[in-house]
Chain A
């Protein structure tokens, strides 16, 4: 095949290549449809009329647009309190997690830290072996954290993966020269962290905040095993009770029997949207941080 390196034009593709490319495009378009369709369907259903949803008239776009589902949801006590709780857990949990992660990841990135390899091993070992559900539960119980908000903030505060990501960022992105210069100037480690490391680490802090925040917003298992009082429940647990256990009664006390059946279905769609929207709305803006985080994390070392 002739290669015309001097001509800056597009090199013509062979017939085989064009067919190959056409197949690639077709498959990717199918992937997009398969991924996107259920999401659009759910959003459309959530803003359609209850009757249209239950009679299966919604196929892609909303039918008889109404916001009835959302109105009922936002007048339900459990939903409001679940939302408020989730916001609290997300904010407080993220703050705790990010702080603790940086506190261990930064020293681990410094050669001057005594025992860094041993400490690193101690930490990574917990990734592949654990005491298990019951022994962990017993510890949380011994500490009297059961049925308190702390149970969702503390026992899973640090993810080893995030420590590894943060550590490799610090290792590769804080110039050695800055450290040497500051040591000559007699700057303490704390001061160095405050005035050099943290300002230079905004990208990794953003990654940590996002990962922990999404994780905290989406988690329900800790709440399931550690919480008993309904007024502490995060949104995901409320969601489970309403959709998966089909427990819609609380949301519809005031409604007539006729409407109930239809409303129950509609509520589920609306609830999914309500619980997911905050994450999905910010997602396109923060996607690059996630990609960045995964890339830093996948670097061996």
Chain B
């Protein structure tokens, strides 16, 4: 609320106030110009460039000069025999990640929260947080070294117990589990921090009341901790669902090989292959746009649902 009592009349008054505000703090407004240019050039201009999806790209004529072809590329994609495989792979991989990866940080935070202070608590946090700092390339390198068909640790261990070697990365059926569980290994500790913060913010009198009522530790978690972090859980859930189609390209791409491609080809890797490697720009843009749109629709839907059901939302 403004503390000054300038009468605000509509129309030219609005423009007038704006001008005065900008003039008074012109330095502040000047400051945002370079970052704003960044957003215009690298975020909004590409959105405009996405009209490519409705054109037949012609190198000489450029994006704007190329002829319109309507929904041709979208139709091509929907009729493509790969279409359902790509959608299925993308959704199954993200769904798996969501189902397995979402509850684990919550459980981890609840457990860490049960330990009273001290070194062990800090040690657990320090260790579980660490893998987050490993790059995707290193992460995939580690996976490949551990799961290598001959010299990998996993197979040496299997052989040690008298079991046969498995070519983990060559089995399409194992791809999703490898992706999801390595992801959990890497990010669970990091994600738990937000829940720990939410737990720290719970009113201490609630715990005292629970204690007076003779609640056991488990009952305390069930009736005080969990309800206390529900708003946080909902927000994180919305954000995760919104990312369902935007599943990390990098790691899938790096883990992909001709043997597991049946389950590992997702929309994002397909766009890269068709678009950049085969220079089929218009088609790849259409596929990418389709992906982004689904993502947007999912996010808006889930946000709306959450708002109705739990009264929490990200906007």
Question: Which A residues have a C-beta under 8 Å from some C-beta of B?
Answer: 1, 3, 11, 13-14, 16-17, 20-21, 24-25, 27-28, 31-32, 34-36, 38-39, 41-42, 53-54, 56, 100-101, 103-104, 106-108, 110-115, 119, 122-123, 126, 128-139, 143, 154-158, 188-190, 214, 217-221, 225, 236-237, 239-240, 243-244, 265, 268-269, 271-272, 275-276, 279-280, 283-284, 287, 290-291, 294-295, 298, 300
For window 281-299 of B, CB contacts with A under 8 Å fall at 281, 284-285, 288-289, 291-292, 295-296, 299
Q: Are A236 and B137 in contact (CB under 8 A)?
A: yes
Report the separation of the CA atoms of residues A156 and B43 in the bound assembly, to the nearest whole angstrom: 10
A36: chain B residues within 8 A (beta carbon): 127
Report the minimal beta-carbon distance from B64 to chain A, rounded to whole angstroms: 11
Q: Are B34 and A220 in contact (CB under 8 A)?
A: no
Q: Are A189 and B27 in contact (CB under 8 A)?
A: yes
A20: chain B residues within 8 A (beta carbon): 216-218
Stretch of B92-100, B170-178, B271-279 that contacts chain A: B271-279
Q: Are A28 and B115 in contact (CB under 8 A)?
A: yes
Q: Are B46 and A27 in contact (CB under 8 A)?
A: no
- Tell whether B206 is near chain A: CB-to-CB under 8 Å: no
Q: Can you give 24 A-B contacts (C-beta < 8 A)?
A: A3-B211, A14-B216, A16-B218, A20-B216, A28-B115, A31-B128, A103-B34, A106-B31, A110-B28, A123-B39, A128-B242, A132-B285, A132-B289, A132-B292, A133-B275, A134-B52, A135-B285, A138-B281, A158-B35, A158-B38, A236-B135, A276-B135, A276-B138, A298-B232
Q: Are A189 and B47 in contact (CB under 8 A)?
A: no
Given known contacts A31-B124, A36-B127, A131-B47, A139 and B41 CB-to-CB distance under 8 angstroms: yes
- Tell whether B197 is near chain A: CB-to-CB under 8 Å: yes
Q: Are A137 and B193 in contact (CB under 8 A)?
A: no
- Tell whether B230 is near chain A: CB-to-CB under 8 Å: no
Report the separation of the CA atoms of residues A225 and B197 in the bound assembly, to the nearest whole angstrom: 38
B128: chain A residues within 8 A (beta carbon): 31-32, 35
Q: Are A132 and B115 in contact (CB under 8 A)?
A: no
Given known contacts A20-B218, A35-B130, A155-B42, A132 and B137 CB-to-CB distance under 8 angstroms: no
Q: Are A42 and B142 in contact (CB under 8 A)?
A: yes
A21: chain B residues within 8 A (beta carbon): 114, 217
> Using an 8 Å CB-CB cutoff, how does the interface string of B188-214 with A read, 1 for contact, 0 for none?
011001100110000000000001101
Report the separation of the CA atoms of residues A6 and B143 in the bound assembly, to the nearest whole angstrom: 55
Q: Is the interface of A mostly helix, strand, loop or mixed?
A: helix
Q: Are A268 and B130 in contact (CB under 8 A)?
A: no
Report the separation of the CA atoms of residues A17 and B220 in the bound assembly, to the nearest whole angstrom: 11
Which listed residue (B108, B214, B272) contacts A133, Cβ 8 A? B272
CB closest residue in chain A, given B232:
A298
Given known contacts A25-B115, A154-B42, A244-B144, A134 and B25 CB-to-CB distance under 8 angstroms: no
Report the separation of the CA atoms of residues A240 and B52 in the bound assembly, to the nearest whole angstrom: 32
Q: Are A295 and B46 in contact (CB under 8 A)?
A: no
A112: chain B residues within 8 A (beta carbon): 21, 24-25, 28
Report the separation of the CA atoms of residues A130 and B49 in the bound assembly, to the nearest whole angstrom: 11
Report the separation of the CA atoms of residues A20 and B48 in the bound assembly, to the nearest whole angstrom: 57
Report the minimal beta-carbon distance from B199 to chain A, rounded to whole angstroms: 12
Given known contacts A128-B299, A298-B232, A113 and B39 CB-to-CB distance under 8 angstroms: no
Question: Which B residues have a C-beta under 8 Å from some C-beta of A?
Answer: 2, 18, 21-22, 24-25, 27-29, 31-32, 34-36, 38-39, 41-50, 52, 63, 108, 111-112, 114-115, 120, 123-131, 133-138, 140-142, 144-146, 151, 153, 156, 185, 189-190, 193-194, 197-198, 211-212, 214, 216-218, 232, 235, 242, 249-250, 254, 268, 271-272, 275-276, 281, 284-285, 288-289, 291-292, 295-296, 299
Report the separation of the CA atoms of residues A111 and B198 in the bound assembly, to the nearest whole angstrom: 28
Report the separation of the CA atoms of residues A223 and B138 in the bound assembly, to the nearest whole angstrom: 15
CB closest residue in chain B, given A155:
B42
Which listed residue (A14, A53, A100, A218) contacts B38, Cβ 8 A? A100
Report the separation of the CA atoms of residues A38 and B284 in the bound assembly, to the nearest whole angstrom: 38
Q: Are B217 and A129 in contact (CB under 8 A)?
A: no
Q: Are B130 and A3 in contact (CB under 8 A)?
A: no
Which listed residue (A24, A122, A298) contacts B115, Cβ 8 A? A24
Report the minimal beta-carbon distance from A221 to chain B, rounded to whole angstroms: 5
A221: chain B residues within 8 A (beta carbon): 249-250
Q: Are B292 and A129 in contact (CB under 8 A)?
A: yes
CB closest residue in chain B, given A243:
B141
Report the minimal beta-carbon distance from B55 to chain A, rounded to whole angstroms: 12
Given known contacts A123-B39, A298-B194, A131 and B115 CB-to-CB distance under 8 angstroms: no
Given known contacts A21-B114, A103-B32, A269-B145, A41 and B153 CB-to-CB distance under 8 angstroms: yes
Given known contacts A131-B49, A139-B49, A298 and B138 CB-to-CB distance under 8 angstroms: no
Q: Are A28 and B111 in contact (CB under 8 A)?
A: yes
A111: chain B residues within 8 A (beta carbon): 2
Report the separation of the CA atoms of residues A220 and B235 in the bound assembly, to the nearest whole angstrom: 30
Q: Are A126 and B39 in contact (CB under 8 A)?
A: yes
Report the minimal beta-carbon distance from A292 to chain B, rounded to whole angstroms: 10
Report the separation of the CA atoms of residues A243 and B255 in the bound assembly, to the nearest whole angstrom: 12
